[in-house]
Amino acid sequence: NAGVTQTPKFQVLKTGQSMTLQCAQDMNHEYMSWYRQDPGMGLRLIHYSVGAGITDQGEVPNGYNVSRSTTEDFPLRLLSAAPSQTSVYFCASSYSGLAGELFFGEGSRLTVL
Amino acid sequence: KQEVTQIPAALSVPEGENLVLNCSFTDSAIYNLQWFRQDPGKGLTSLLLIQSSQREQTSGRLNASLDKSSGRSTLYIAASQPGDSATYLCAVGGANSKLTFGKGITLSVRP
């Protein structure tokens, strides 16, 4: 099994550009979430989903959009990139809830100039 | 609002030493507590998950304990090895079913 796959691993954007970070899992997990990791801040929840067709906001949702059309995929869209969105983004999935045992992707490092 | 603290931020020990990593949290009304390992440039790997009704969990050389009343958890690593070098993060699951993460402890085990 591949687990949780994130693409791209690295991306450089200019301010105002939009892009989508892809996340796919092959474990049939209902719960999926996006976190960002910044130095000195710990991981913070951006958006999450408890099943196909159901999404909700986390702690830091502004500037991001998500959708969940299938169980496997949970893309994160940056609508108009800002330097404050420079970060490492992690997608995670779980079979037992948002606070259950989480399986993480390897991360997507985004730089916004 | 739940706050999770991990002190110190970094730790260096010689190989073979038994060590304890600490995690403290401010709100004792938790659902569970989870310890993760993160290698440089990689994602997080769940090591141990302790439900709020449990006192400890063990996996190999790792043992995690939970004391809700004092707002503390410890991760005990026995007979440390250079391969244990990584960042260890503690995350607390709250009544809202979401995780609050600490900032992590970067461990270096010297050969």
Task: Tell me which residue of A17, A24, A19 sits closest to A106, measured CA to CA.
Answer: A24
Nearest to A101 among B43, B49, B104 (CB): B49
Contacts of B36 in chain A (CB under 8 A): 102
What is the C-alpha to C-alpha distance for residues B86 and B105, in angstroms, rounded to an integer? 8
CA closest to B48 among chain A residues: A101
pLDDT tier at B59 (50, 70, 90 boundaries)?
A: very high
Residue B72 has pLDDT above 80, yes or no: yes
- How many CB contacts within 8 angstroms connect chain A with chain B? 57
What is the C-alpha to C-alpha distance for residues A23 and A66, in angstroms, rounded to an integer? 11
Cβ atoms of residues B61 and B78 within 8 Å: yes
Q: Do B46 and A90 touch (CB under 8 A)?
A: no
Nearest to B43 among A44, A101, A104 (CB): A104
Q: Do A106 and B32 touch (CB under 8 A)?
A: no
Give the contacts of A50 (CB within 8 A, at least 6 positions apart).
A30, A31, A56, A98
Task: Tell me which residue of A29, A30, A22 sits closest to A90, measured CA to CA.
Answer: A22
Q: Calculate mean pLDDT across residues A81-109.
A: 94
Percent of chain A with pLDDT over 90: 89
Contacts of A100 in chain B (CB under 8 A): 32, 49, 93
CA closest to A94 among chain B residues: B46
CA closest to A5 among chain B residues: B43
What is the C-alpha to C-alpha distance for residues A45 and A82, in angstroms, rounded to an integer? 18
Q: Please give the sequence-ordered ranges of beta strands (E in DSSP) within A1-113, or none if there are none.
A: 4-7, 10-13, 19-25, 31-38, 42-51, 54-57, 64-66, 76-78, 87-94, 103-104, 108-112
Q: Calculate mean pLDDT across residues A73-92.
A: 97
Contacts of A58 in chain B (CB under 8 A): 98
Q: Calculate mean pLDDT across residues A42-69.
A: 95
Nearest to A90 among B32, B43, B104 (CB): B43
Q: How does pLDDT run across B11-56, given as a tens digit for each residue?
A: 999 999 999 999 999 999 999 999 999 999 999 999 999 999 999 9
